Amino acid sequence: MKNRILLIILDSVGIGALPDAAQYGDEGSNTLKTCYDSGLLRISNMESLGLLGIDGMDYVMGNGSYKGVYGRMAEKSSGKDTTIGHWEIAGIISPKAMPVYPKGFPASIIEEFERKTGKKALCNKPYSGTEVILDYGREQEETGGLIVYTSADSVFQIAANERDVPVAKLYEYCEMAREMLQGEHGVGRVIARPYVGSYPNYERTANRHDYSLLPPRKTMCNYIEEAGLACIGIGKIYDIFAGSGITKSIKTKHNAEGMEVLRQLVKEKGDGLIFANLVDFDMKYGHRNDILGYVKALNEFDVQLGSLMSELQENDILLIAADHGCDPGTDGTDHTREYIPLLAYGKQIQESKNLGTRETFADIAATILEMLEVSGQTDGKSFADDIFLNIFKT
């Protein structure tokens, strides 16, 4: 049986500012260090895999003996958003950042959106997702309009109360926006942000839905699908890749459910790729500068990670990485331009092997394709030969 790869993306768990971080206003950012500095982080399973051996982790003492392979990876794409990060992980370096709108969207975009939907667009500014519904919720109820907002990311977000705009209708409006926003204004994602409640007690629901651009060319997911192997997306993976190359998608409401889905899948025999995104770190805590919440989420993940590791089958290879940073200890609430961790573990994988610093996230895609014996073109270099035990090399 061929290998089966489990790739877990800890959304926003960066490990230190990249050399060009100052160009993004992120000099000195370090998401994981902020969590360690709380004194409450308890992630012994990740540490046992080699987290503390990674370059730049000199602020925490490790013992030098680890169960897995470890390293850090630099982002070579321009940008620091979810879509760009995941595309690079899947093999595509993006030399041009996706458009962002720090002053809101141009009048021509808003006017076209209002014409297509027949709804008034409210707000049109960069905003926190929780604050925007508090500040515009009453106007949305009174006018029946749609709250349109953005962030430091390349996103066009549409929020509405489910009582006034049914979820299915909100999705239709997002599809209209996605069709509009191409080319020069091709934002990475159009996002439906439904909520419930009455002023001031609003609450966002789990009915979020992302509408991404199609990747500009084939990713590792497409090559794996074409080889007849499974490429299962967990969480928002399907949305990030606009479904391209994903053979099966399993939506989840939170990190714990994502890990439980992984654990159940591991109990079944199989091959191919299981690609999971755990978004709570970013969405619930990083963007809200909630250090203690972030720490708690990491601690909870680590407990579930221990259970997952104990159930891996002979042909399973576990990879853990991230897609960018979102340091909850900074003044801002946006993503931060950081290195990401890489941890690899399995019965076929070496112990205490340091990969150093890799030049691009795309090395993950090249490695996964080689381990699955699938041909494909990526912008990365495989490190498969550096992590396998000699007895498993062919």
Give phi and psi for 296, each to the nearest 5.
Answer: -60, -40
* Separation between Cα atoms, residue 188 and residue 196, nearest integer Å: 26
Superfamily designation of domain 107-211? Phosphopentomutase (3.30.70.1250)
pLDDT tens digits, one per residue of 203-258? 999 899 989 899 999 999 999 999 999 999 999 999 999 999 999 999 999 999 99
Within 8 A by CB and 6+ apart from 156, the residues are: 105, 148, 150, 177, 181, 187, 189, 190, 191
* Separation between Cα atoms, residue 240 and residue 67, nearest integer Å: 31
Average model confidence (pLDDT) for the chain?
Answer: 95
DSSP code, position 380: S
Task: Please name which of 295, 305, 381 lies closest in space to residue 343, comparing C-alpha atoms.
Answer: 305
394: pLDDT confidence band, cut at 50, 70 and 90? Answer: very low
Q: What size, in residues, is the chain?
A: 394
Identify the pLDDT of residue 54: 98
Q: Where are the domains of the chain?
A: 4-96+213-392, 107-211
pLDDT tens digits, one per residue of 25-50? 999 999 999 999 999 999 999 999 99
Identify the pLDDT of residue 332: 87
Q: What is the DSSP pairing of strand 272-278 with strand 231-234?
A: parallel
- For the domain spanning 4-96+213-392, the CATH number is 3.40.720.10
128: pLDDT confidence band, cut at 50, 70 and 90? Answer: confident
* Separation between Cα atoms, residue 121 and residue 111, nearest integer Å: 9
User: Which pTM was predicted?
Assistant: 0.91
pLDDT tens digits, one per residue of 66-108? 999 999 999 999 999 999 999 999 999 999 989 999 999 999 9
* Separation between Cα atoms, residue 195 and residue 294, nearest integer Å: 23
333: pLDDT confidence band, cut at 50, 70 and 90? Answer: confident
Identify the pLDDT of residue 201: 94
pLDDT tens digits, one per residue of 137-164? 999 999 999 999 998 789 999 999 999 9
Q: How is the beta sheet containing 248-250 ordered, strand by strand?
A: 248-250, 231-234, 272-278, 4-10, 316-321, 340-345, 69-73, 353-358
* Separation between Cα atoms, residue 281 and residue 254, nearest integer Å: 10
